[in-house]
Every structure is written in C-alpha cells, then in structure tokens.
Amino acid sequence: MLKGFFVPLHREGWRFVAAFAAVDVILWCLAAPLGWIGLIATAWCAYFFRDPPRVTPRRAGLVVSPADGVVQMIQPAVPPPELGLASQPLTRVSVFMNVFDVHVNRTPCPGTVTGLAYRPGAFFNASLDKASELNERQSLRLRLADGRELVVVQIAGLVARRIRCEVAAGQALQAGERIGLIRFGSRVDVYLPDGVAPLVAVGQRAVAGETVIADLQSSEPARLGERN
C-alpha cells in the first residue's frame, strides 16, 4: 500500500521540489498559516513531477498513448513541416494533460528517431485546435521496423513554459520508454501512419505507455465512443 502511495519523482522535479521546500521554510518563519500554504504547494509540486512505472503491452504493431490525459481530438492533419515529411494529412490523436495528470511522456511504439525539431511559439490553451499550429512544440519523427513513420509532438499549453525532450537523433526506442515531459499542463499529438485507424474515441481517458490507441496490423475501422 505504501509502495503505491510513494511514487518516484522524475529527476527534473527534484530541483523544483527543493525550491518549493526552501520557500516553505521561510514562510514558516514568517507565519504558521503561510507555512501551511507553502507545505501544500510543495506537496503539489512533488505530485506533479511523479513518475509512476507503467506496464506496456509488447505485442508487435500496438501503438500506446504517449501521455496521461483525455483524448481531446481525432482528426486528419498535416504533420509539423519542420520534420520534412510530405504535406499529406494523417490521422492525429491528441491527448490533453491537465495539471493533475502525470506529465512524463512515453514512446508510442518501437522505432528509431530519425528527426527532432523544436519550434518556439505561443501559449494558447492546449485543448484548442490552433495549439497544434501556433504553440511552442517539440516534434519527434520515428521510423518503425516496417519502414513506416510515426510522429509525436509535445505541445506547450496555457501555463506550460518548458518542454523537455530526452531523446536524440538515431536513438532506438522501445514502446513505453520515457521521452521527456512538459511543465505544467499541455498536450501530446500522435500522427498515425497512413491508413491506420485509431482504437480510442474522443473523451476517452488514456494512460501513457499502457492504453492502446492504434494497431498497425489491424484493418479495424475507427472506433466510436459513447458516454454512459
């Protein structure tokens, strides 16, 4: 039970937790009510940077969610031009993370990083469609074992001010492997290979590294969801 409660922190979070804790010590010296506020803020900071282990399905062809959150949009869209891909629209699955979700992002499927591109931009609400086009973003191009390509895009949000990508060009990745994180509240887009239909529906909750969002080997049509 305690093991499930004390979740490991991502290494990026330790300095933030330390800074919050240092400020909290000062607040306690000033007044007890301020100290309690600082303690709550420090606990929230530690909660934000949690990095729980995940169990990733290993069957060939499965594409898992790169982020925790709600599937916000599923629609055709052209991948970021800075990756050098053709201007053909592909099915884009967008997963929106709020400030209470785990923000560590993971690889959707096995592949080799053939392209990385960072583009500065605005900080609109990440749940808006225009965020894919106008917001700050970090794009990642993956070549899969069968030669097809898949794109993952980390997008900054309204209060997010930092995208951290932890992979390098030429690196071979496994499904569910950590690729970075975004602070604080944001979105991750996955552009599926041509002809691949999503197996999730808008409004569905996804878990990074675990929820299957597509199957490269399946001919099943796109799924519809119904809220109950």
Annotated catalytic residues are: 186
The DSSP string of 44-99 is HHHHHTB---------TTEEE-SSSEEEEEEEEEPPPGGG---S--EEEEEEEE-T
Residue type, 218: S
DSSP E strand boundaries for the chain: 62-64, 69-77, 90-97, 104-106, 111-119, 137-143, 149-156, 162-165, 172-173, 178-183, 186-191, 205-206, 212-215
